[in-house]
Amino acid sequence: MLDPTRRFSDRVEYYVRFRPGYPPALLHCLQQHTGLNRTATVADLGAGTGIFTALLLPLAGCVHAVEPNTAMRAAAEQALGARTNFVSHAGTAEATTLPSASVDLITVAQAFHWFDHRACRREFARILKPGGQVALIWNERLSDTTPFLRAYEDLLRACTVDYNEVNHAQFDDVAIGGFFAPAAFEKHAFPNEQSFDLAGLTGRALSSSYVPNVGQPGHAAFLAGLQAIFQRHAQAGSVAFHYRTVLFLGRLA
């Protein structure tokens, strides 16, 4: 399997333009259940191109965006570098470069499944202040709520490289419970959605590291299949991705 820290180097433009954001209700929940406020220091780990970091900046005193992938980190720095409370770090979840007991809240949006969980747990515990919390967040694409989404899931399973191996759906409540154990965690869920024309759908698909990119084996066949299911299921020129945005929130004992 390709090194997780390099998987998205050739997908940055697609990632910036076509990955989903996060619903306002998620941010409200974090504000209600954590110390997320204008005095808080947050570490956004696996920050990528800064999609979630950008939402934290108006709410926190300082946001440390930690990202190992050079191309993705550069995109975040270009988009957010003018913000005075944004600090970019070339680090990993297992070695953040942040000082011990320095952050009130750790956020991980759409990245925890790439981490070494034992090593990152030690690092999380090191950088958190006493009483600090960890928020693990995913946009879970629903795969069977519409005929289009079922067809898209079938296409991924038939025409991609390692979808089954890297699909983050394997991280269920039991796995998350093991990470936080022996402490408990809270789980919250919120609806989220994107709509796409064919160009947008293509870009969204190619933002996923398991979809064959330009010049890779299977790319043309995947695009042909994608166009076919779009033509079959589009309504008024668009199709919709439905998500359940899930938040796991807890402290590390």
**pLDDT tens-digit readout, 180-234:** 999 999 999 999 999 999 999 999 999 988 898 888 889 999 999 999 999 999 9
Q: To which residue do tokens 């007991």 refer?
A: 101
For the segment 144-177, what is each residue's pLDDT rounded down to a tens digit? 999 999 999 999 999 887 776 666 555 689 999 9
Cα atoms in the Cβ-side hemisphere of radius 13 Å centred on 46 = 24
- Chain segment 238-253, per-residue pLDDT in tens: 999 999 999 999 999 8
Residue 118, exposed/middle/buried by CB under 10 A (0-12, 13-18, 19+)? exposed
Give the integer Cα–Cα distance in Å for 248 and 65: 20
- Cα separation, 167 vs 174, in Å, equals 16
- CB-count burial class (<10 Å; 0-12, 13-18, 19+) for 226: buried
- Compute the mean pLDDT over every residue in the chain, rounded to the nearest whole number: 93
Task: Show the domains of the chain with their CATH numbers.
Answer: 4-141+165-193+242-250 (3.40.50.150)
Kindly give the pairing relationship between strand 86-89 and strand 62-66. Answer: parallel
